[in-house]
Structure 1
């Protein structure tokens, strides 16, 4: 198998970064997982699921512990090209229905027509060739199958400080792909997508967690291209974010004495059904 991985992903998520990534990245709202389950007929359970770009297992674990999915999963095959993330996934996902192998969007190693559902959470912006990916998705999905693309992003519309922090981070992106660049809508316009899949369905959920200064600065340092910065530049990013948080434009306090406030996010799910 030839594994082609975006160089920023390969370098930014190298061995030694996975545990930190898993600790600081947020999980997904329960409503989003319920919605995804509702898109697959009950009659098809237990489901054969392929999760591509499974990373450290943040979405996998959320799926396994969600009540709507408790008895719905037959077999879950996770695909992840990062050695470090696969190792962490293996340690963090303890369910004999689930396995993980090395692979990519266009080379999953899954047999023809096996999958009821493909799930890609917080990962499809790393795809190198949309046409090849959709061809692979259509190959491994059964005739009634669907692909689900999920993102859980900081909600920059909810508060000024969120938008400012995101701008501070993305200013160091140097062309790294991200959902905000609308890569998925570009993917949906490819000839392979329009010939193999129906028009996508979309839903989103505003939600918030609890954050502190450490939460936000640690999360910023988990971004692929931030991990690659020299120590002095990385420290400058942290200092700039601390200044933004000190101003706290639009911040909603949960416990001011403890320095805890709302951490606004917007989760989005896109459903693409095979023709």
Structure 2
């Protein structure tokens, strides 16, 4: 048996259990990709021209990494991307599905507050659908400031099923979080990063936007996506079966749900890509 990751003690316990060994293959298969408009927006946020050094923290199974590597806006400007994640299981799937022979790409154990990246190396830091798991905001802000260049950019991104504008998606969220109002009480805790003492020392005020997108999937793939949510992934089989039945009932009722192709069983899943950008203040003399 392999020894625990040295960073595992710093990982949110729900994330540590929900995204553990044996769960990540399905995660990589059914989690959505990132819309091209989001990748373009990230490139625009990094105003510097070519030879960019990017740090991706919480890289997971590599879904965002692979999208970035293949996107035309990044193909001629990316020099290096250092990917870090505290989950050994995530890194194993990342290595299986991402070309680590590409000299631009590296993968290592790491967390938001301990990346292992050299001082002043990064033009930008990106965290895709992961920063809500950060537990140590003050330490993470100091780490971001340490590894960024003076004009560096932080790009936080969440690719979220749009529970705010679609009733059926909110209903699915409710059955996936039956004992905790995660979206009301837990998710926004990441915003505490803006209140820690070091934030105003090192960074400018944040800029926030959303980019809408959709994905067409079968009911089965949509259900399997739900099974990869950390709160559902830890349920016993009977609990997962209740989630499956609940999703089927919600889709059959069809409240504000759109079919991409009903004959083929394809439903349109709406996403709201929450994007938050904050920029390093110029270094003081």
Q: TM-score range by the shorter chain?
A: over 0.9
Shift of 1:274: 0.6
Which ranges of structure 1 fall in alignment gaps of 5 or more residues? none
Aligned to 2:59: 54
Distance in 1 (CA, whole Å) between partners of 2:117 and 2:185 is: 26
Measured after TM superposition, the shift of residue 227 of structure 1 is: 1.1
8 Å CA contact 2:176–2:231 kept in 1: the answer is no
Match of 1:96 among 81, 90, 103: 103
From 231, 243, 264, give the equivalent of 2:270: 264
RMSD: 1.8
Matched, 1:243 2:283: no
Contact 1:79 1:102 in 2 (8 A): yes
- C-alpha displacement at 1:90, in angstroms? 1.1
User: Could you tell me which residue of structure 2 aligns to residue 124 of structure 1?
Assistant: 131
Q: Where does structure 2 lack aligned partners over 5 or more consecutive residues? A: none
CA distance in structure 2 between the aligned counterparts of 1:107 and 1:166, rounded to whole angstroms: 32
Matched ranges for 1:31-180 at <5 A: 31-43=37-49, 45-94=50-99, 95-172=102-179, 174=180
Q: 2:31 aligns with which of 25, 28, 34?
A: 25
CA contact (8 A) 1:117 1:145 kept: yes
TM-score normalised to structure 1 length: 0.94
Q: How many residues align?
A: 273
Question: Relative to 1, partners in 2 of residues 1:83 and 1:177: Cα closer, same or farther, differing over 3 Å?
Answer: farther
Instruction: Please say if residues 112 and 134 of structure 2, whose CA atoms lie closer than 8 Å, have aligned partners that are also in contact.
Output: yes
CA contact (8 A) 2:131 2:156 kept: yes
Query: What's the counterpart of residue 229 of structure 1?
Result: 235
- Looking at structure 2, the residues matched to 178 and 52 of structure 1 have their Cα atoms a distance apart, in angstroms, of 25
Aligned counterparts of 1:268 and 1:240: Cα–Cα separation in 2:
27
